[in-house]
Amino acid sequence: METYLSETIGKPVVLISGEVAGYVIGARLSKKLDAVRALVCADEDEEEFILPAASIRASGDGGVMIRGLGGKPPKETVPAPVGMRVLSEQGDLLGIVQDFVCEGKIVRSVLLSSGETCPPEKIHGVGECLILGDAPKKTAAKKLSAPLSETPETVGKSEETCEKEVAASAQAGSNLLTGKRVPRDISDVRGNVIIRKGSVITPEVLKSAIFHNKLFELTVTVLNAD
């Protein structure tokens, strides 16, 4: 059964004994983006740990069931490049990575902000952006229950329109998050810290999270800390 990788974010990580070891905050993929190699998790003290895919027994609506902790982290992986730009070989902007469609631990396709998908084997380069060899395939839009990326559709929109959307999103989330403290550092897709641990959430902090496609991660992190 195909699922979105984003549906794993925020789920509790549960040992077979019933003990909750933490919750999922991200994922690491193979360099070819064709497989989920590990989940990035955080414990109750907000200390991050890597959960190898081999340690996962099952993943359902209630949580991610694991065999145990302490598995050896996989080598040669990359953070799931959500929010990264996707360019054609001619330099055209095709969209932004919004999610990954998976079947078990296998990534079947990359979902773009345009609603189109492309198989991982069509991606020729992964660096500061993704380079796509062929045009992505148009698919029927599917509603994401919990997208990894909160990125608004920007292709074809003016800068003014995008700024209005960012402002509206920040206003919508202000009642939920404003005034709370961030329990851990929030980093962008390149690992740069954009929101420091202990920061008080203000409208400016929310706008920064939206700009870097980290609003969902910020929300999950803060609410799970309450």
Share of the chain above pLDDT 70, in %: 80
Q: What is the pLDDT of residue 100?
A: 92
56 within 8 A of 64, measured Cβ to Cβ: yes
36 within 8 A of 5, measured Cβ to Cβ: yes
Mean pLDDT, residues 177-203 taken together: 84
Q: What is the pLDDT of residue 101?
A: 93
Q: What is the amino acid identity at position 40?
A: V
How much is the pTM? 0.61
Least-confidence region, from 89-93, 124-128, 142-146? 142-146
pLDDT at 143 over 50: no
Residues 6+ apart with CB under 8 A from 2: 101, 102, 103, 108
Mean pLDDT, residues 139-166 taken together: 42
pLDDT in tens, 77-123: 998 888 888 998 888 998 888 889 999 899 999 999 888 899 999 98
pLDDT in tens, 69-78: 877 888 889 9
Mean pLDDT, residues 116-135 taken together: 84
* Domains parsed from the chain with CATH numbers: 2-78 (2.30.30.240), 80-138 (2.30.30.240), 159-225 (no CATH)
Q: 155 to each of 14, 40, 87, 120, how far by Cα in Å?
A: 40, 30, 12, 21
pLDDT in tens, 7-64: 888 889 999 888 999 888 889 999 999 999 999 888 888 788 899 998 988 888 888 9
Mean pLDDT across the chain, nearest whole number? 78
